Amino acid sequence: MGGIGKTTIARVVYKRTSHEFDFSILLTNVRSNVEKSGLVNLQKKLLSGIWMKEDDILDLHQGAAIIRRFCHHKKVLLILDDVSHPDHLNFLAAKQEWFGIGSRVVITTRNEHLLIKHGVERRFKVWGLNNDEALQLFSRKAFRKEYPEKKFLGLSNSVVIYANGLPLAVEVLGASLNGRGITEWKSPLSKLGKVCNSEILDVLKMSYDRLDDEEKKIFLDIACFFNGEDKDRLTEILIACDVSAVIGIKVLIENNHVLSKNTGTEAIEGIVVQSTEPGVKVEVNSKSFLPLNKLRYLKINNVNISKGLQYLPNSLKDS
């Protein structure tokens, strides 16, 4: 997950252990650096870490051969941070045999499948902070202390609960509140859960942006309609709705207005309608689904359909 602390851990590993190796190379932000200047330049940066002239590298294959030749008998610590494509590994650290005895290659990525495909057997998931750890980190950023002042404790705990263990969120929110009085806290805290901080959102959105169109479609289906659904049941629904076709969800909107006012459009592909108020049922009229020719998902709970439904689109599948 973005912002969970992978790069921070990589830097700590480098700082604490680099003295144990003949050569230590830390390559952070592999993905963005490759996008900016290419993978050959990253090979050159790696070789510069072992005091080699890198000007003669003409292409990726030559760069890989040089890395293999000069690292083969050396005890090397190589940290590759934020790897996102198989080529990053294939041309920077393809095999264990590239490096001498006692060498270590540490890889951070948001995509565990890359590690599996590359044959990396020792894999570790980075978990979020617990409440005590998050409160301590927040206090360091907001107050430059290990613990909040008493009058700020309740508000600080609200931030920690909202951040849900994500270090990036804790740090960003703590820094934004640093040096502010208690009255100044209430405005930004009132937005928690309503408006996501743009710095946090940008990092989290990277994970979504890296998905292909079909994966984005499935993600949105789950986020909007099937959050908490049993996996096997969800799989049946998705298969029945032919999610293997790259269609893409065009419009995801709040649906109670659609149902009551007949303002649906052909772009709507899924609707979940249910009342969250005890004893209150949503009213659905008999023609609610008439315009929804692309509707693929329909989930109805606690709804009053007093006159029945005159029409359901053929695009719905029985599951």
**In a domain? residue 316:** no
| pTM (global) more than 0.85 | no
Mean pLDDT of all residues in 230-246: 59
Residue 192 in tokens: 């928690």
pLDDT of residue 92: 94
Same domain as 114, residue 29: yes
The answer to whether the beta carbons of residues 217 and 296 sit under 8 Å apart is: no
Residue 257 and residue 195 share a domain? no
- Given a contact cutoff of 8 angstroms between Cβ atoms, the answer to whether 248 and 220 are in contact is no
Confidence band of 143 (pLDDT split at 50, 70, 90): confident
For the residues 53-69, what does the mean pLDDT come to?
Answer: 83
Yes or no: say if 50 and 77 are a contact pair by the CB < 8 Å rule: no
Looking at the fold, whether 103 and 146 belong to one and the same domain comes out as: no
d(CA 24, CA 183): 48
Residue 129 zone, left/alpha/beta (φ > 0; ψ -120 to 50; rest):
beta
pLDDT of residue 244: 46
Q: Please determine, for residue 159, whether its predicted confidence score (pLDDT) is greater than 90.
A: no
| H or E, element range at 69 | helix 60-71
pLDDT value of position 197: 62
Which residue, 86, 118, 150, sits at the end of a domain?
118
Domain for residue 206, yes or no? no
Alpha-carbon span 1 to 4, nearest angstrom: 6
Whether 208 maps to a domain, the answer reads no
Q: Domain check: are 193 and 294 in the same one?
A: no
Which comes out higher in pLDDT, residue 132 or 197? 132
Shared domain check, 226 and 192: no
**147 and 87, same structural domain?**
no
Model confidence at 237: pLDDT above 50: yes
If you average pLDDT over residues 234-262, what whole number do you get? 44
Same domain assignment for residues 188 and 221:
no
Output 34-42 pairs: Cβ under 8 A, ≥24 positions apart: 34/85, 34/88, 39/63, 39/87, 39/88, 39/91, 39/92, 42/88, 42/92
Q: What is the pLDDT of residue 259?
A: 37
Residue 297: predicted pLDDT: 64
Q: What is the mean pLDDT of the chain?
A: 76
Amino acid 11: pLDDT: 94
- Residue 236 lies in domain: 213-304
Domain stops at, among 85, 118, 151: 118
* 303-318 pLDDT tens trace: 666 556 655 666 665 5
Question: In one letter, which amino acid is 15?
Answer: K
Residue 83 φ then ψ, to 5°: -80, 135
Q: Are residues 85 and 145 in the same domain?
A: no
Burial class of residue 83, CB neighbours in 10 A (0-12, 13-18, 19+): buried
Rounded to whole angstroms, how far apart are CA atoms 170 and 229? Answer: 29
pLDDT tens digit sequence for 79-102: 999 998 999 999 999 999 999 999
Same domain for 82 and 27, yes or no, is yes
Higher pLDDT, 305 or 117: 117
Question: Residues 92, 93, 97, 100: is their CA dihedral positive or negative?
Answer: positive
Lowest mean pLDDT among 70-79, 182-191, 200-209, 281-290: 281-290
- Are residues 111 and 10 part of one domain? yes
User: Lowest-confidence range among 6-20, 97-111, 256-270?
Assistant: 256-270
Q: How many alpha carbons fall within 13 Å on the CB side of residue 167?
A: 16
| Cross-strand bridge partners of residue 78 | 25, 105
What pLDDT does 23 receive? Answer: 92
Residue 292 predicted with pLDDT over 70: no
Check residue 249 and give its pLDDT.
27
Asked if residue 16 is part of any domain, the answer here is yes
Q: Rounded to whole angstroms, how far apart are CA atoms 298 and 319?
A: 10
Percent of the chain residues past pLDDT 90, beyond the cut: 26
Tell me which of 173, 200, 227 is where a domain ends. 200
In-domain check, residue 104: yes
Burial state string for 90-123 with b = 16 or more CB within 10 A and e = fewer than 16: ebbbeeeebbeeebebbbbbbeeebbeebeeeee
Structural domain count of the chain = 3
11 and 110 together in one domain: yes
Instruction: Answer yes or no: is 227 within a domain.
Output: yes
The rounded distance, in Å, linking the Cα atoms of 292 and 259 is 11
**One domain, residues 69 and 37:** yes
User: What is the structure's pLDDT at 33?
Assistant: 92
pLDDT at 252 over 90: no
Residue 47 lies in a domain: yes
Q: What is the pLDDT of residue 251?
A: 26
Measure CA of the first residue to CA of the last residue in the chain; give whole Å: 32
Q: Which one has a higher pLDDT value, 51 or 108?
A: 108
Domain presence at residue 123: no
pLDDT of residue 164: 83
Q: What is the pLDDT of residues 176-198, one digit of tens each?
A: 888 877 777 776 667 666 556 66
pLDDT at 224: 67
